[in-house]
Amino acid sequence: MNWSQEVVGMVVFETERLLIRDWTDADGDRVFDIYRRWEVSRWLGAEPRVMPDRGAASKVIQRWNERNQEPPYGVWAVEERATGTIAGTVLLVPLPDPSDGTAGRGEVEVGWHLHPDAWGRGLATESARGAIEHGFKAGIGEIYAVVRPDNVASLAVCNRLGMRSLGRTTRWYGAELEAYLI
């Protein structure tokens, strides 16, 4: 199946190999294909679960694009320049307040969720580095990453990004996570 996109959303920033852009309705099949997979979804949220159906993908795209209306924050598509394939998601979002889940104390998170067919090529690191630079250019002073302790691949991305380990915390998302800061 060809996951290339003919309709491109607004590009937010670019890296050497990637266009980071808003999601489009045409991306729904790929979103579902990413988040229906346990190997991706197992690392996400306080109680990980897979996306149940294609309709959920349309709803999440709408929600993400609403978040993208508050620059410099967003949840964006990671599109490979060479092929037009959506590799996954990169995000730059306020971390939730630990007490009620609303926007917290100005702490900002970078995150990435890539399809398994995009793993092992440095795309998570490249897209996250671009998101961090995007945040710094907008005046954000520090950016966190929070990773499940057994997610070896994402822990390695944090290290490749030059992030400093802060140790484990249960402060965000109702789960014990490794916190990193840059």
Q: How confident is the model at residue 174 (pLDDT cuts 50, 70, 90)?
A: confident
Predicted model pTM: 0.90
CB 42 within 8 A of CB 33: no
For the chain, give the mean pLDDT.
92
What domains are there in the chain, each with its CATH number?
11-181 (3.40.630.30)
Reported as a pLDDT band with limits 50, 70 and 90, residue 101 is low
Q: What is the dihedral of CA 56, 112, 136, 102, to 10 degrees?
A: 50
